[in-house]
Amino acid sequence: MTIIDSLPSRGLRSAELEALREADSVTEAAPLGVDDDDIRALAVQAGDTIFGLGYDPDDGWSVVDSREAGDPADLAAVRDALKNWEARRAATAPTDDADPGDR
């Protein structure tokens, strides 16, 4: 079972993040952003690997980036990859004021 297999088919809630942090296979899990009720991007260290995980409502959870753990620069790179992923998602998301026929 992979980390993604253990995630719900939606963004995480803060209680679920805490449960993930307590899993035996997870060293640490840190969200990107501050919305405790809908966490859609997080860095997770499992074993010797840091994963950048992102949730998209259409595609579900995916591995945005992964790096070998041990160097703070690797965590920074994973967080940067998640920020870029979120920016790309935001740029392609339909806006509320768009014509419904365009969706």
Answer whether 63's CB lies under 8 Å from 53's CB. Answer: yes
Whole-number pLDDT of residue 61: 97
Whole-number pLDDT of residue 103: 46
pLDDT at 72 over 60: yes
For 75, what's the count of Cα atoms within 13 Å in the CB-facing half-sphere?
15
Distance CA 1, CA 26 (A): 13
